[in-house]
Chains A and B, each alone.
Chain A
Amino acid sequence: MSEDKNKNIQDINTPDDKFIHPENKPRTVISPEGEEIHIEPLRDYFLEKRPEVIQPKSDAVEKFLNWARAESIWVLGFGTGCGSIEIPPLMTPRFDAFRYGVQMRPTPRQSSAIIISGYLAIKTLKRVIRVYEQMPSPKYVLALGSCTINGGMYWDSYNTINRLDHYIPVDVYVAGCMPRPEALLAGFVQLKKKIKEGRAEGANEYAEKFDWYKGNQKKIINDWNMPDYNW
């Protein structure tokens, strides 16, 4: 890896890095046989690579690909807050989102969209960030409910975030408390429209403003026992 890509990576060897939980700091332990083992817990979790802006291909190709992406939205099965209870009726006979090309996938690697379905506790935010970073680009975020817009009824809670788009780029907001599955379907239609117009470039935006997003994330997450950069 070239040197310039490395410069923003947190040096996990600095002992006084306040964002790293003590148990994740590198240390040397002695095994029962008396052997010295050097442990760097965070090394096990990440590849040292910043996200990069990937420019879209030529117009015609990108239009074609965007059409396919819009008609085949694979949503990660990840639920936060009360909104996740709206997902099962969405996929089952009553609302049947499969008709719109929306399918659920069980792993972030295979998903192209994530629904943040309601209030986001700080503990969950860490998982959301990690999952978002694991998804392959292009990736889309649907934010469900007023909690993701301004905190909703949790706006003064000590433990939840208020604005989701300070932490990850959001493509479509679906307002309501809680929005019904119809509203979510309308959100998917909006998202499809946005993708087809080529405006859903959240992954590139995240890569461009990476330091700003990371700064916001670090402001609110005190025990940053996740790597500064994972894959």
Chain B
Amino acid sequence: MDIINKLLFVLLGLFIILNFGLFMGVSMRKIVARVARRNGVPFYQPWLDLIKLYGTRDQISHGIMFYLGPVFRLSGGVGIFLFMPLIFGSQYFNNFSFAGDLVLILYFQFFGMLGMALGAGEGGHPYSAIGISRGLSQFTTIEVPMTLAVISLGIQYNTLSISEIVAAQQGGFQNWTVFTNPFATAAAMLSLLGAFGHSPFNLVKAPNEIPIGPPTEYHSTFLGVLQTNAAILHVIEAVLFMNLFFGGAVNWFELMLKSFLIYFWSVFVGVVFPRYRIEQSVQWFLKVPLLLGVIAIIIYM
């Protein structure tokens, strides 16, 4: 019975995260719209978009990988969710967190990307292929400072379990990694800009570049699955950063506030800075963030 209870709570957590992700996405669109002096979409827009996409009458497929692409992407997002402890100290919302979950989560981040690459490649549209090659090269360089920061954390706390890292940061904000290991935090927060895919690193999916990058051929339910995953993934990556660098959360309110602010960091940068070309963003990640990551490791060696 324990496992059934656990599963029910995992599903409840997923439901909350999904809806919060949709809400977070639309509030950022409202913020960006206000910056441009528009009113922007109504607050219920992403839910309606999802209903519409799932209710589209016909679909076409380009083959098996085309089907599996969004599925891989979704399992990447849900996979990260499954192993992420959400609420510190809660016996219900720790999901399936275990001793080495940090490594698994780093792996799942890339897994969805690769599945998407295979699926979009089979879509056959040249724009998909260009988008994929851009996306993968950018994501590879994003991973470098991110991984260095995670290794630095591993050395600092002597563990690769997210729960233990959160536990080590309890007892006041001065214990948060952002204060105890600022270099790793800086490297990771810069790589987060790329991971969320807002400007200046949104060349891959920007509608006004080659339209619209990897999901060019994806429509109806496929696109619905991709958008569902985007909502989950944005929150859960913000939750990962919250757990690693900002002391975790002891209740849902704290989780939502912190993940909202972490996500807002990427949007804030996005509305201020214009878009990079792909070679510029690749070079950018391999300069300052990489250096910060290396310093973070050297300090704790």
Residues of A within 8 A of B (CB): 47, 52, 54, 64-65, 68-69, 71-72, 77, 92-93, 96, 98-99, 101, 103-107, 109-110, 112, 136-138, 203, 231
Contact = CB atoms under 8 A, between A and B. Distances in A.
Interface string B210-232: 01100111111001000000000
Nearest to B206: A106
Q: Is the interface of B mostly helix, strand, loop or mixed?
A: loop
Contacts of A72: 45, 48-49, 51-52
A71 B42 CA distance: 10
Contacts of B223: 110
B38 A68 contact: no
B207 A65 contact: no
Given A72-B49, A109-B219, A98 B39 contact: yes
Interface residues of B, number: 31
A99 B223 CA distance: 22
B283 interface: no
Interface string B111-152: 000000000000000000000000000000000000000000
Contacts of A69: 52, 55
B8 interface: no
A65 B33 CA distance: 27
Given A93-B37, A98-B41, A104-B207, A136 B218 contact: no
A208 B212 CA distance: 32
With a 10 A CB-CB cut-off, give which of B36, B40, B219 has the most chain A CB atoms.
Answer: B219
A71 B37 contact: no
Contacts of B212: 105-107, 110
A64 B218 CA distance: 24
Contact of A110 (B48, B57, B58, B219): B219
Contacts, number: 85
Nearest to A135: B219
A103 B39 CA distance: 13
Contacts of A54: 57-58
B4 interface: no
A92 B36 CA distance: 8
Contacts of B44: 71
B52 A99 contact: no
Nearest to B216: A107
B1 to A, nearest CB: 36
Interface in B52-95: 52, 55-60
Contact of A65 (B52, B59, B208): B52
Contacts of B58: 52, 54, 136-137
Given A110-B215, A136-B220, 18 more contacts: A68-B52, A69-B52, A72-B45, A72-B51, A77-B207, A92-B38, A96-B40, A98-B33, A98-B39, A98-B40, A99-B39, A99-B41, A99-B42, A101-B48, A104-B207, A109-B217, A110-B218, A136-B57
B57 A71 contact: no
30 contacts: A52-B58, A54-B58, A64-B51, A68-B48, A68-B51, A68-B55, A71-B44, A72-B45, A72-B51, A77-B211, A92-B36, A92-B38, A93-B36, A93-B38, A96-B33, A96-B39, A98-B33, A98-B41, A99-B42, A105-B207, A105-B212, A106-B207, A106-B212, A107-B219, A110-B215, A112-B56, A136-B60, A136-B219, A137-B56, A231-B60
